[in-house]
Amino acid sequence: MGSVLTIRGGIPLTGKVSVRGAKNLVPKAMVASLLGNTPSVLRNVPEIKDVDVVTSLLQLHGVEVTKDPVTGDLTMDPLNAKMAQSKDIDAHAGDSRIPILFCGPLMHSIGEAFIPDLGGCKIGDRPIDYHLEVLRNFGAVVEKRTGGISISAPKGLHGAKVALPYPSVGATEQVLLTAIRAEGITELSNAAVEPEIMDLIAVLQKMGAIITVQTDRVIRIEGVKELTGYNHKAISDRNETASWACAALVTKGDIYVEGARQVDLTAFLNTLRKIGGAFDVDDDGIRFYHPGGALSPLVLETDVHPGFMTDWQQPLVVALTQAAGVSIVHETVYENRFGFTDALMRMGASIQVHRECLGSIPCRFGQMNFLHSAVISGPTELRGTDIDIPDLRGGFSHLIAALAADGVSRVTGIELINRGYERFQDKLEGLGADFDITEDAPAVAVTLP
Ligand code: EPU
């Protein structure tokens, strides 16, 4: 049985929410704890499902994980790290893609790793070819087995010159987590430089790593023999912040996001201002609100940092359904991230998705069969409807649309939202949303790739 969220829309969301550690940093910092020879402490940890998954995976590998009952801080002690059973890893990995990042740390601490076939949100093929190629560069032997891949380093791991075909966040993290204890120097070119990666580098530096971020996406890592544990406060979740910002705009509300960091949101804030959203920044967070008047359309392309992030695209598209005129959004990071627009169209939005690149950023999906450009005409009134949530960001966008819509929406699959939005139901309640939850829906089959 799954839960059904029944939303009675049309109420401006008003009030304050707190945003804690980034979903796209916290699990990786947790994995890094395996590399230390003393316990690590991670602070500002959100209560989200991805953290639970990594906690279970660390525990399976012999890491003692304790959570402070008051602050939620995690202490991770890797002293008794050991090999886990592949069937147990598989059972605990759920739909997360984080297990692939265990490879380097496990090879360093116990000499081998088994990685189950991976899940993650349904937003494209999401291959792991860059990861495997990178690991081979370090001297790892990668073998496909039933249900996953087995990785070992019989001759140890050595530094390497690595060039990524695309600045992949995960593959950059793979290099960092593997290179810091590999023998010799690693030079990574075409690296991703997202704020969450910079925060992971800060974690690794606290552990004793020597990492230099050079110009032009080059990262140089000098391998060290030993690392200690770290004590670190995770960077706040800029994707959750962007989601609440759009919720304030679309519902014509006023939301103060405590913990939001302007410096990580520059591209988003510029875009929000261009379409007519307002924000005030102070030392503790950012207030987002609709200043009145019509919203303006715009032409936008998603990109790797410092561009407009792909995870901000879905809530922004909901806002663009309310802008007066035609907007164009070209998604260049994932090939299949417009599936969520089907539900918006059923709610009354006018959106066409196209295979062509409607933009100028060189895109890997241009001559292929992927619907990766959207044309949105607005403003359109949104009407409540039944929605089954497809993925994390698309799903939260559906909630925003339902909260702004006229009438009632029944939303299923909300468990997916818990992967990355901490206590979102409590936050919605605090903002004055009118909704209730029942547990009597027939089970919704959620199959992730
Ligand atoms: N790619 C490959 N081969 C690989 C790895 C990536 O072709 O081996 C491709 C992907 O298919 C995609 C592109 O490279 O088209 C970028 O993928 P990337 O590796 O950067 O993404 P990721 O590390 O899997 C993280 C976040 C995503 C976020 C992206 C981009 C985590 C756990 N996930 O994914 O977050 O969209 O970076 O910034 O950190 C989300 O939060 O909802 C989410 C999907």
pLDDT in single tens digits along all 449 residues of the chain: 689 999 999 999 999 999 999 999 999 999 999 999 999 999 999 999 999 999 999 999 999 999 999 999 999 999 998 888 777 887 777 777 888 999 999 999 888 898 887 655 555 556 889 999 999 999 999 998 877 888 999 889 999 999 999 999 999 999 999 999 999 999 999 999 999 999 999 999 999 999 999 999 999 999 999 999 999 999 999 999 999 999 999 999 999 999 999 999 999 999 999 999 999 999 999 999 999 999 999 999 999 999 999 999 999 999 999 999 999 999 999 999 999 999 999 999 999 999 999 999 989 998 789 999 999 999 999 999 999 999 999 999 999 999 999 999 999 999 999 999 999 999 999 999 999 999 865 555 544 44
Going by C-alpha positions, the residue among 401, 403, 402, 425 that lies closest to residue 414 is 425
Backbone angles phi, psi at 399, to 5 degrees: -60, -45
* 169 close to ligand 1 (CB < 6 Angstrom): yes
What's the 130 CA to ligand 1 centre distance in angstroms? 11
* 126 close to ligand 1 (CB < 6 Angstrom): yes
Q: Residues spanned by CATH 3.65.10.10 within the chain?
A: 3-19+236-439, 26-233
311 CA closest ligand 1 atom index:
36
CATH class as words, domain 26-233: alpha beta
Residue by residue, DSSP assigns 273-327 as: HHHT-EEEEETTEEEEE--SSPBPP-EEEB-STTSB-HHHHHHHHHHHTTBSEEE
Bridge partners, residue 434, by sequence: 8
pTM of the model: 0.95
SS3 41: strand
C-alpha–C-alpha distance, residues 205 and 217, integer Å: 18
* 241 close to ligand 1 (CB < 6 Angstrom): no
User: Which residue type, as a one-letter code, is found at position 119?
Assistant: G
Angle CA 378–342–407, to nearest 5: 70
| Nearest CA, atom 39, ligand 1 | 24
| Nearest CA, atom 26, ligand 1 | 24
Q: What is the mean pLDDT of the chain?
A: 93
CATH class as words, domain 3-19+236-439: alpha beta
What's the 20 CA to ligand 1 centre distance in angstroms? 21
